[in-house]
């Protein structure tokens, strides 16, 4: 079904082909019918092996035939003495290898081989590993073979170190290494686990990987796999679950809790308990800002009847209880205050980097810029420069980042929408890095925003201006739980979906957009 060229042939050639195929077809049908008959009669003999073998060698995707063949082999293994059984299995191995030479990507063949190896009285895993080596020589990207190799490695106890060595060999001797780099990403954390128990690889090892991957893309700047791997090296680990912000307001009386990642609050999820003046509240009903999902990072509950106007300082405490983390956050609502916040002190973008890491990344940036001089239109170098600048110091490099992203839209125009959204994400990250989302008023106008990221972080802002951008969708606005005034003029908004249910919205401006008439009528219905 894949890769068959349509070739023009003469009528004579067509007729010859038709005859050839009719012959093949008849032969196949006769064979299949005979095999089916024998199977019905529960015949598990040499003839059965012969027929199924002939059929499968040419048609390895007919899984029913593999099923029958397994029944035959299982039967023979049950009745034969051990040496004969082992011999039968080695013959089957040879048969399978012949099949693989013709069809190295057949699910059926590889699966049958793993089935066989599990049945063999004395499996020789070294031979199996060598088979994998051979087939990976033919095609380093054959994922069937890699999967089989991992099966062999698991069954025979080959160490992760040895496999890591194997990937190093592959990478140094080959092009087209995506599969090897990928395997490496799985092996590194096993061979060199990070002492913090995060499941990532140890930092000093990751830093050495930069050297390895740099060699790869300097040898071949268009070797995609090295660039993908590099991006992974730059990435952060799994986000830890923590309370990022606790917000309390008096009018209306409510709490908003922002977590570092989406969770389900309630039964089968995490627990969020509230105490006011040291007394735990019962029957707290938590609502997710993303109402269409059970999961969210922004949760809200009402404190009706629990907060008092004109009181002295009121202490509010929220406790997060999950299998991975327990945390208590407190906040004090002063006597003349209408709202209060307790916020995490961590930087938004940058986790603290060790000196070694900063040095490595700075050198990386230098190297990539050298590469850019040699190949000014290499999009991989340009993108990696952006990623490195963001990793090292987003605010310091913000103008350079914008320049590079603009260039990328030109050089790699097929993906211009991706780069535009990426730029939007960075602009909002910069705002958060400056902690401007803790102000009452946020302005992000005239900066060509195409997407709204991190709207959960603007949950406590009361005045927001996103005018003169390129926004088309407002789905993410559902997280703007405190917005009173929202300006969205001069965008390309097509639908007001996302604005319904914003509890404090009083002023909304949507001049100069692309809202359909039908939607326009519904805007009024939203309120």
Partner 1 sequence: MGTAAKDVIDVQQPNNLLLDKHVEYICAYENKKDDYEYVMTEYLRMSGIYWCITAMDLMGHLHKMTAEDIIKVVKKCQHECGGVSPSEGHDPHLLYTLSAVQILCTYDALDVVDVDGLVLYVSALQQEDGSFVGDMWGEVDTRFSFCALACLALLHRLDAVDVEKAIEFVLSCKNFDGGFGTKPGSESHAGQIYCCLGVLAITGRLHEVDADLLGWWLCERQLPSGGLNGRPEKLPDVCYSWWVLSSLAMIGKLHWIDRDKLVSFILASQDEETGGFADRPGDLVDPFHTLFGLAGQSLLGERKLKEINPVFCMPQEVINRLDVHVQLL
Closest distance between partner 1 and the C-beta of residue 114, in Å?
A: 8
Residues numbered 166-185 forming contacts with partner 1, rule: CB under 8 A: 175-176, 178-179, 182-183, 185
Letters for 225-264 (x = contact with partner 1 by CB under 8 A, - = none) are x--xx--x--x--------------------------x--
Residues 478, 501 contacting (CB under 8 angstroms) = yes
Does residue 1 interact with partner 1 by CB under 8 A?
Answer: yes
**CA-to-CA distance for 7 and 14, rounded, in angstroms?**
11
CB of 448 to partner 1, least distance (A): 15
Contact pick of 41, 267, 283, 292 for partner 1 (by CB under 8 A): 292
Binding status of residue 119 toward partner 1 by CB under 8 A: no
Tokens representing 409? 């839209």
Backbone angles phi, psi at 111, to 5 degrees: -65, -40
* Number of residues engaging partner 1 in binding (CB under 8 A): 63
How many CB atoms are closer than 10 A to CB 280?
11
Please tell me the distance from the alpha carbon of residue 273 to that of residue 8, in angstroms, as a whole number. 74
Name which position in 24, 208, 434, 435 contacts partner 1 (CB under 8 A): 24
Smallest gap from Cβ 264 to partner 1, in A, equals: 10
At its nearest, how many Å lie between partner 1 and the CB of residue 102? 16
Under rule CB under 8 A, residue 59 binds partner 1:
yes
Q: Measured from the CB atom, is 250 or 389 closer to partner 1?
A: 389
| Nearer Cβ to partner 1 (211/293) | 293
Helical H runs in 394-450?
A: 398-411, 416-433
From 341, 324, 328, select the one nearest 256 (Cα to Cα): 341
CB neighbour class for 312 (10 Å; exposed up to 12, middle 13-18, buried from 19): exposed
| Residue 196 structure tokens | 């913090």
Q: Give the containing element (helix H, strand E) for 273.
A: strand 271-276
Whether the Cβ atoms of residue 118 and residue 154 lie closer than 8 Å to each other: no
Binder of partner 1 out of 138, 143, 516, 527 (CB under 8 A): 143
Measured from the CB atom, is 364 or 465 closer to partner 1? 364
* Number of Cβ atoms within 10 Å of the Cβ of 442: 20
Kindly tell me which of 76 and 505 has the beta carbon lying closer to partner 1.
76
Would you say 391 and 424 are in contact if contact means Cβ atoms under 8 Å apart?
no
Contacts of 61 (CB under 8 A, 6+ apart): 106, 107, 108
Residue 449's Cβ-side half-sphere holds a number of Cα atoms within 13 Å equal to 28
Q: Which of 224, 358, 398, 409 binds partner 1 (CB under 8 A)?
A: 224
Nearest to 399 by CA among 365, 421, 426, 366: 426
In the complex, least distance from residue 304 CB atom to partner 1, rounded to whole angstroms: 30
- Asked whether position 107 contacts partner 1 by CB under 8 A, the answer is yes
Return the residues of window 326-385 that contact partner 1 according to CB under 8 A.
Answer: none
Task: State which of positions 404-423 bind partner 1 (CB under 8 A).
Answer: 413-418, 421-422
Nearest to partner 1 of 355, 414 (CB atom):
414
- Please state whether 388 falls in left (phi above 0), alpha (psi between -120 and 50) or beta: alpha
Instruction: Report in angstroms how near the CB of residue 138 gets to partner 1 at its nearest.
Output: 16
Out of 97, 124, 139, 147, the residue judged to bind partner 1 by CB under 8 A? 147
Closer CB to partner 1, residue 125 or residue 232?
232
Burial of 404 (0-12, 13-18, 19+ CB in 10 A): buried
Q: Which residues bind partner 1 (CB under 8 A)?
A: 1-6, 21-22, 24-25, 28-29, 32, 36, 59, 61-64, 66-67, 70, 107, 111, 115, 141, 143, 146-147, 150, 175-176, 178-179, 182-183, 185-186, 219-225, 228-229, 232, 235, 262, 292-295, 413-418, 421-422, 425
């Amino acid at each position: 079904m894949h890769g068959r060229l349509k070739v023009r042939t003469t009528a004579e050639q067509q007729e010859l082909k038709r005859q050839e195929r009719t012959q093949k077809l008849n032969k196949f049908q006769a064979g299949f019918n005979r095999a089916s008959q024998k199977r019905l009669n529960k015949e598990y003999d040499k003839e059965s092996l012969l027929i199924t073998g002939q059929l499968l060698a040419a048609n390895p995707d007919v899984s029913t035939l593999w099923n029958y063949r397994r029944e035959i082999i299982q039967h023979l293994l049950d009745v034969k003495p051990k040496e004969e059984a082992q011999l039968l299995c080695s013959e089957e191995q040879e048969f399978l290898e012949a099949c693989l030479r013709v069809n190295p990507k057949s699910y059926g063949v590889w699966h049958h081989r793993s089935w066989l190896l599990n049945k063999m009285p004395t499996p020789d895993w070294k031979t199996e590993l060598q088979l994998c080596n051979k087939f990976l020589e033919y095609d380093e990207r054959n994922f069937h073979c890699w999967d089989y190799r991992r099966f062999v490695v698991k069954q025979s106890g080959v160490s992760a170190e040895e496999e890591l060595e194997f990937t190093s060999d592959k990478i140094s001797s080959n092009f087209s290494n995506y599969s090897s780099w990928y395997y490496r990403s799985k092996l590194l954390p096993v061979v060199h686990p990070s002492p913090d128990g995060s499941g990532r690889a140890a930092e000093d090892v990751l830093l050495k990987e930069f050297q390895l991957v740099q060699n790869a893309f300097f040898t071949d700047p268009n070797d995609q796999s090295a660039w993908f791997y590099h991006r992974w090296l730059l990435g952060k680990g799994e986000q830890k679950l923590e309370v990022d912000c606790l917000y309390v307001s008096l009018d209306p009386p409510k709490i908003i809790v922002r977590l570092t990642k989406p969770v389900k609050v309630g039964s089968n999820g995490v627990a969020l308990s509230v105490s006011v003046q040291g007394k735990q509240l019962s029957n707290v009903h938590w609502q997710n800002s993303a109402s269409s999902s059970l999961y969210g990072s922004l949760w809200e509950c009402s404190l009706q009847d629990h907060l008092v106007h004109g009181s002295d300082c009121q202490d509010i405490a929220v406790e997060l209880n999950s299998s991975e983390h327990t945390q208590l956050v407190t906040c004090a609502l002063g006597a003349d205050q209408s709202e209060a916040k307790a916020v995490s002190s961590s930087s938004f973008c940058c986790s603290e980097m060790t000196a070694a890491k900063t040095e490595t990344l700075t050198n990386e940036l230098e190297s990539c810029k050298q590469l850019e001089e040699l190949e000014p239109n290499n999009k991989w170098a340009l993108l990696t420069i952006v990623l490195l600048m963001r990793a090292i110091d987003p605010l310091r490099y913000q103008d350079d980042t914008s320049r590079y992203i603009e260039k990328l839209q030109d050089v790699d125009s097929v993906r211009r929408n991706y780069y535009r959204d990426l730029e939007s994400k960075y602009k909002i990250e910069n705002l958060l890095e400056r902690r401007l989302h803790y102000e009452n008023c946020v302005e992000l106008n005239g900066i060509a925003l195409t997407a709204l990221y991190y709207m959960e972080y603007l949950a406590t802002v009361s005045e927001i201006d996103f005018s003169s951008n390129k926004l088309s969708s407002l789905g993410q606005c559902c997280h703007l739980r405190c917005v009173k005034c929202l300006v969205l003029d001069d965008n390309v908004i097509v639908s007001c979906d996302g604005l319904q249910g914003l509890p404090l919205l009083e002023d909304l401006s949507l001049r100069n957009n692309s809202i359909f008439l039908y939607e326009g009528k519904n805007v009024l219905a939203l309120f």
